[in-house]
């Protein structure tokens, strides 16, 4: 359908060398977008690009550290000047650190916030400055069900994803008047490298299957439709929204 066609648009996905980021990048390309993938590790990024190319996807790489504001601006300004406009941004880069809150080290808290929150601001602002001048653009931030829920041992992560959801609302409030659509996706529990330890834990998987109305872990491909929707003209009047893709876990007790 034309509403969901991303042909002619360029999408940058941060943290896209594996997991959810790689899956979303592949999905956006299949919807017609020109793809730019990002990670801090250039070698891992090249390996991901090779995987995508073997699947018939045309992709460019843009390595930079999302927690370095100057590096972010240089990379995005450079791409815009030398290659062309970025029409879609998916702020996916993130990390997890599981430790009881009373034992959480300040440096680990700071690092988690830099990766999960600061990066959304840095990359979002750098891209938005160009989008504002064009009067259009799509920014999609990856939050989490932990923006609404909490579990033991991940309180700082929960705080960071709540911040992402609220920053998304702020982006929409400031930038919708310039033609930008700023929204978030909040994944539930997905089978990804970030959750590998939990997937491998039979006790946790049994609890999750019982707790989630859908009765299972999510598959990364099940996030693609939400991302394409928010990146497309079909979501032209959707702004400041966090779309939960979680098998119903936030809808039930």
Q: Annotated active-site positions, please? A: 157
CA 106, 112, 117, 120: dihedral to nearest 10 degrees?
A: 140
DSSP 8-state secondary structure symbol assigned to residue 115:
I
Q: First and final CA of the chain: distance in angstroms?
A: 37
Contact by Cβ (8 Å): 37, 103: no
Alpha-helical regions (H) of 83-239: 106-113, 119-134, 155-175, 196-199, 202-211, 224-231
CA 159, 208, 248, 97: dihedral to nearest 10 degrees?
A: 20
Number of helices (H), then strands (E), in the chain: 9, 7
Can you tell me the distance from the alpha carbon of 165 to that of 183, in angstroms, rounded to the nearest whole number? 8
Burial per residue of 122-137, b for 16 or more beta-carbon CB atoms within 10 angstroms, e otherwise: bbbbbbbebbbeeeeb
Can you tell me the distance from the alpha carbon of 43 to that of 76, in angstroms, rounded to the nearest whole number? 20
């Amino acid at each position: 359908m034309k509403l969901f066609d991303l042909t002619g648009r360029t999408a940058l996905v941060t943290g896209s060398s594996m997991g959810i980021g790689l899956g979303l990048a592949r999905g956006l390309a299949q919807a017609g977008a020109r793809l730019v993938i990002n990670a801090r590790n250039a070698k891992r990024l090249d390996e991901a690009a090779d995987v995508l190319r073997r699947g018939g996807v045309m992709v460019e790489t843009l390595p930079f550290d999302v927690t370095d504001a100057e590096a972010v601006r240089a990379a995005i300004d450079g791409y815009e000047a030398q290659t062309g406009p970025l029409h879609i941004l998916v702020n996916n880069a993130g990390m997890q650190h599981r430790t009881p809150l009373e034992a959480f080290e300040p440096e680990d808290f700071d690092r988690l916030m830099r990766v999960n929150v600061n990066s959304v601001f840095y990359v979002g602002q750098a891209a938005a400055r160009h989008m504002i001048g064009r009067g259009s653009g799509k920014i999609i931030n990856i939050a989490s069900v932990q923006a609404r829920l909490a579990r033991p041992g991940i309180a700082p992560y929960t705080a960071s994803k709540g911040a992402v959801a609220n920053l998304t609302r702020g982006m929409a409030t400031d930038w919708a008047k310039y033609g930008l659509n700023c929204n978030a996706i909040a994944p539930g529990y997905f089978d990804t490298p970030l959750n590998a330890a939990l997937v491998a834990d039979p006790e946790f998987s049994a609890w999750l299957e019982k707790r989630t109305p859908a009765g299972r872990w999510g598959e990364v491909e099940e996030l693609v439709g939400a991302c394409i929707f928010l990146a497309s003209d079909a979501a032209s009047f959707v702004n400041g929204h966090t779309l939960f893709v979680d098998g119903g876990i936030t809808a039930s007790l």
